[in-house]
Amino acid sequence: MAKKKLKSHNINRDWCKGCGICVHFCPKKVLELDAEEKAVAGDTEACIVCRLCELRCPDLAIEIETETETE
Amino acid sequence: MAVKDFLRERFFPHLWCPGCGHGTVLNGLVRAIEELGIRKSDIVMVSGIGCSSRISGYLDFHTLHTIHGRALAFATGVKMSRPKLNLIVPMGDGDALAIGGNHFIHACRRNIDITAIVMNNRIYGMTGGQYSPLSGYGAAATTAPYSNIDHTFDVVELSKAAGATFVARTTSYHPKEITKYIKKAIQHKGFSVVEIMSQCPTYFGRKNKIGGAVEMLEYMKDQTTPIDSKAKAENPDLIERGIFVEKELPEYCEEYEKVIERAKGGA
């Protein structure tokens, strides 16, 4: 089966309220809050596409975009 | 369809506080509808009053924002006149079990095919943090500065006793369970109750010195366990998550249809 690979973290800055849930519970510590207290993806290489940030986000501000890995 | 197709995006960002668990319930609910593939026009969402009830405004279904505690009564009316529609009633703990307590138990008893979602944050958030019937003994609230002496309802036990034919519980820490149980509840023929323990960092978290949203979610992770787990046997104080009741009984609208047939002189 083709593996899903991260394309990008699409974070809606207008909707994000900076609660930090995604940052705290990310198992790979990919996300962080910037100077404006908005979630941003830092170490995207570490992302395992578990989508927990997308599912837990109370502001529906995160969308994980994936692409199929081609080898 | 994508998640955003179910939202009324013009009302976002929503009015809930940063870190409010109700947003996670909305998130999980939308995914449940998406996975079930139900048409938006086949869903009616009826809500009452409170932070939780504002959820209906954000969703692009048929929505009714009604009066405090009476959402189930309005939903019963809609369901009786249009039995083919899917009725979803999101309620807060106070809306469902204090103001609407009688509507709640009788909807359970009738087994009408409605999905009730109790978003339990253990406090009245919108009006300033007064204690609710779910706050529990020893909790602090604006109206209980020296701690609450009222004992709490157990939503699951109450629903079971009142006759609901599907009863489940999870928390806003467990988003996959939210989607899974809401899906099952919508598919269930009869009255379904899904209790989702949710965090109110602004009032419950602050008044009870638990902390912010992150600490409240950690608390829900630590204080809950799947039904019949080993952890529960070792620590009986843990709150169980899972499906507690799933049974088939005659559904109210179908029974009413039979009454109409009998009145017409049929079988």
DSSP string covering A44-57: GGG-----HHHHH-
Q: What is the pLDDT of residues A20-46, one digit of tens each?
A: 999 999 999 999 999 999 999 999 999
The residue type of A57 is C
Is residue B13 reached through a cis peptide bond, with omega within 30 degrees of 0 on the bond before it?
yes
pLDDT of residue B267: 57
CB-CB under 8 Å, A55 with B31: yes
A46 in contact with chain B, both atoms CB, cutoff 8 A: no
Name the residue among B176, B213, B217 with its Cβ closest to that of A55: B176
Pick the residue of B29, B170, B214, B219 with the most A CBs within 10 A to test the interface with A by mutation. B214
More confident position, B112 or A69: B112
How far does B135 lie from chain A, in Å, by closest CA?
22
Residue A4 CB neighbours (<10 A): 13
pLDDT at B2: 83
Distance CA(B106)–CA(B170), nearest Å, equals 23
Please give the domain boundaries of chain B with CATH numbers for all domains: 3-263 (3.40.50.970)
Chain B: give the shortest CA distance to residue A70, in Å: 24
Q: Return left, alpha or beta for A10; rule: phi > 0 is left, psi -120 to 50 is alpha, else beta.
A: beta
**Predicted confidence band of residue A3 (pLDDT cuts 50, 70, 90):** confident
Looking at residue B266, what is its pLDDT? 66
3-class state of residue A25 by DSSP = helix
Q: Please give the pLDDT value at position A1.
A: 61
Domain A3-69, classified CATH 3.30.70.20, yes or no: yes
Chain B's closest residue to A54, CA to CA, is: B27
pTM (two decimals) = 0.95
Nearest to A60 among B17, B23, B214 (CB): B23
Q: State the nearest Cα–Cα gap between B209 and chain A, in angstroms.
A: 17
Å between A39 CA and nearest CA of chain B: 12
Give the DSSP per-residue string, chain B: --GGGGB-GGGPSPSSPTT-HHHHHHHHHHHHHHHHT--GGGEEEEE-SSTGGGGGGGBSSEEEE--TT-HHHHHHHHHHH-TTSEEEEEEEHHIIIIITHHHHHHHHHHT-SEEEEEEE-SEETTTT-EE-TTS-TT--BTTBTT---PPPP-HHHHHHHHT-SEEEEEETT-HHHHHHHHHHHHHSSS-EEEEEE---IIIIIHHTT--SHHHHHHHHHHHEEETT-HHHHH-TTSEEEEEEEE-----HHHHHHHHHHHHTT--
Chain B: closest CA distance from residue A31 (Å):
14
B17-72 pLDDT tens trace:
999 999 999 999 999 999 999 999 999 999 999 999 999 999 999 999 999 999 99
Three-state DSSP state, A65? strand
Mutant choice from B15, B27, B33, B218 vs A, greatest count of A C-beta within 10 A: B27
- Please give the biggest Cα pair distance in chain B: 65
Domain extents for chain A?
A: 3-69
Identify which of B13, B22, B24 has the shortest CB distance to residue A56.
B24
CB–CB contact A21 B19 (8 Å): yes
Can you give the pLDDT at residue A69? Answer: 75
Percent of the residues in chain A that have a pLDDT greater than 90, as a whole number: 83
| Chain A residues whose beta carbon lies within 8 Å of the beta carbon of residue B12 | 14-15, 60
Nearby residues of B230 by Cβ (< 8 Å), 6 or more positions away: none
Q: How far apart are CA B86 and CA B129, in angstroms?
A: 33
Q: For chain B, which ranges sit under pLDDT 50? A: none
Question: Smallest Cα–Cα separation from B19: which of A27, A8, A23?
Answer: A23
